[in-house]
Homo-oligomer: A and B are copies of this chain.
Amino acid sequence: MFIYLVLITIFTNIDCKNVLVLIADDAGFETKVYNNTVCKTPNLNKLAEKSVIFRNAFTSVSSCSPSRSVIMSGLPQHQNGMYGLHQGYHHFMSFDEVQSLPLILKNNNIHTGIVGKKHVGPSYVYPFDFAETEENHSILQVGRNITYMKHMVRKFFHHHNDSRPFFLYIGFHDPHRCGHTNPQYGAFCEKFGNGEPGMGTIPDWKPVKYDSDEVEVPYFVQDTPAARQDLAKQYTTISRLDQGIGLILEELKNAGHDKDTLILYSSDNGIPFINGRTNLYDSGMGEPFLVSSPYQTKRNGQVSDILVSHVDIVPTILDWFNIPYPSYKLNKKIVKPTGKSLLPVLNSEPHSGYETVFASHNLHEVTMYYPMRVIRNQQFKLIQNINYKMPFGIDQDFFISDSFQDLLNRTRSGIPTHWFKTLKEYYYRQYWELYDIKSDPKETKNLMNHLDSGYKNVFLSLKTKLLQWQNVTSDPWICAPWGVLEDAGSYKKNPQCFTADNYLNLHEEL
């Protein structure tokens, strides 16, 4: 045993294995990597050439802080406590006891750093040795000014003058909308730093402009001039993200770590368009995801179609560093992360073990209570909308966007929306939604209305698995909305859902 430990230590030191995580903010598939032929992303394309490209990767929750808490903890938002946004009067936070990735790595003598958007807390749960974030900078500077970010990364490598491995997390703020907070820079801050009068200059950024006629409108967004203009602006902002990625990778190379660093690229949640962010339809849940290892290169540039989730990021990185997940309790229950390491996938496409992903959403803004629980496999998806009788919430950011206002105006005026749903359907959803993703990838036909056509067993089987996952991940909403979870006193070791529903038929309309 002693010899084994020594060997591990030597191995780690010799290989000097590091990790670089690149997280975009609200990015989708606007890249050639995912077959978008218009939006130019040369740096992402280049990274993809030395990565495995996951085509079925999903966020665990389509909301910024909750998603980042999952990326950094490996635990669903309902398990780590970050039920909604972290900032301002939302002020959600992870539980004090959560052993996050930066904490585990710190405790294992890995040098940790973060540059850009952090958006999680409390700070002692997510500690970084080196932190240049919105907590000590303007988010525009540290998250969108790629020259500034480059210098911060350079500073990190300057500080990293020891033999320890490092973990560096880059949180781009692009291509997040900003018309809500900084309208002077445009809907997506696409003018910020572009050299025009009053916009300042980001020296390293060469803005790329797009004609709204040429953008590729995703199936879930209305194809109208207003939405197209919004997408064109988003594309311009993606050029900043892409060039930023190029700069960071250049810094990595200059620091001599391009050959010993695992690189992961993804985004926190769906794009900030209708049916995207805050939704758990595939349009809000699907994410770009690239994993590039300098030691496992034979699948470079290949696609993988297994189902992966952001909960897999922590196990992958711990596997890379050869660090076991610590043993501890959250709210008196032992924590067992449900994610799996993706390192084996870099060697060969697995035939089994990656068939199902789960997702859970509670709130985004604190006033947007809309808990959802989701199970998805290669063919089906089941969504539970816990607060379904109330309208789905629209966030502050998206509500005043040209794109959403266009949908509202068209709906009000009774002119064609050029959209695949009605707003009424969007606001009011059924309690359960069951889709055959294979034959209905746009999730338009709710099979709950066709249970007698043979889908009842599909529903019951998925529902059972969803419940099992809620149980394993200590979901406080496991009995919601009709039941009350009893998990203390007599029920401490045998938690139960009690309900008045069977007496009262509380959801009679189902």
Report if A183-B489 is in contact (Cβ < 8 Å); known contacts: A481-B391, A482-B391: yes
- Using CB atoms, name the residue of chain B closest to A121: B96
Query: Chain B contacts of A369 at CB under 8 A?
Result: 369, 387
* CB of A500 within 8 Å of the partner chain: yes
* Complex contact A489–B179 (CB within 8 A): yes
Interface residues on A, range: 35 or more
Query: Chain B contacts of A488 at CB under 8 A?
Result: 180-181, 396
- Kindly state the separation between the CA atoms of A490 and B180 in the bound complex, as whole angstroms: 8
Report if A489-B180 is in contact (Cβ < 8 Å); known contacts: A394-B500, A412-B503, A427-B504: yes
* Complex contact A180–B423 (CB within 8 A): no
- Using CB atoms, name the residue of chain B closest to A428: B506
* CB of A255 within 8 Å of the partner chain: no
Query: Chain B contacts of A412 at CB under 8 A?
Result: 502-503
Stretch at the interface among A27-35, A81-89, A305-313, A318-326: A81-89
* CB of A8 within 8 Å of the partner chain: no
The residue that A389 contacts in the complex, of B89, B365, B390, with Cβ under 8 A, is B390
Query: Chain B contacts of A408 at CB under 8 A?
Result: 500, 503
* CB of A458 within 8 Å of the partner chain: no
Query: Chain B contacts of A479 at CB under 8 A?
Result: 367
Q: Interface 1/0s, chain A 472-510, versus B by CB < 8 A?
A: 001011011110111111100000001010111010000
- Using CB atoms, name the residue of chain B closest to A400: B486
* Complex contact A396–B485 (CB within 8 A): yes
Determine which residue in A89, A488, A503 has the highest number of CB atoms from chain B within 10 A of its CB, and name it. Answer: A89
Q: Interface 1/0s, chain A 4-28, versus B by CB < 8 A?
A: 0000000000000000000000000
Report if A490-B183 is in contact (Cβ < 8 Å); known contacts: A88-B331, A91-B93: yes
* CB of A366 within 8 Å of the partner chain: yes
- Kindly state the separation between the CA atoms of A399 and B490 in the bound complex, as whole angstroms: 14
Q: Interface 1/0s, chain A 254-298, versus B by CB < 8 A?
A: 000000000000000000000000000000000000000000000
Query: Chain B contacts of A354 at CB under 8 A?
Result: none
Query: Chain B contacts of A179 at CB under 8 A?
Result: 489
Closest chain B CB from A141 CB (angstroms): 18
Interface members, chain A 71-120 (any B CB < 8 Å):
81, 83, 88-91, 93, 95
- Kindly state the separation between the CA atoms of A411 and B503 in the bound complex, as whole angstroms: 7
Closest chain B CB from A489 CB (angstroms): 5
* CB of A37 within 8 Å of the partner chain: no
* Complex contact A484–B395 (CB within 8 A): yes
Determine which residue in A400, A412, A482 has the highest number of CB atoms from chain B within 10 A of its CB, and name it. Answer: A400
- Kindly state the separation between the CA atoms of A387 and B480 in the bound complex, as whole angstroms: 15
* Complex contact B504–A411 (CB within 8 A): yes
Query: Chain B contacts of A95 at CB under 8 A?
Result: 89, 91
Query: Chain B contacts of A476 at CB under 8 A?
Result: 89-90, 365-367
- Kindly state the separation between the CA atoms of A189 and B61 in the bound complex, as whole angstroms: 41
Report if A498-B180 is in contact (Cβ < 8 Å); known contacts: A331-B88, A423-B504, A476-B366: no
* CB of A424 within 8 Å of the partner chain: yes
The residue that A399 contacts in the complex, of B93, B411, B424, B484, with Cβ under 8 A, is B484
- Kindly state the separation between the CA atoms of A194 and B408 in the bound complex, as whole angstroms: 65
* CB of A182 within 8 Å of the partner chain: yes
Closest chain B CB from A121 CB (angstroms): 10
- Kindly state the separation between the CA atoms of A182 and B489 in the bound complex, as whole angstroms: 5
Q: A93-B93, A180-B488, A391-B482 known; 13 other A-B pairs, CB under 8 Å?
A: A91-B93, A179-B489, A367-B477, A367-B480, A390-B481, A391-B481, A393-B484, A396-B485, A399-B484, A412-B503, A423-B504, A427-B500, A428-B506
- Identify 10 residue pairs between A and B in the complex whose beta-carbon atoms are under 8 Å apart, listed by A's number: A81-B89, A81-B91, A89-B95, A89-B476, A367-B480, A391-B482, A396-B487, A396-B488, A399-B484, A412-B503
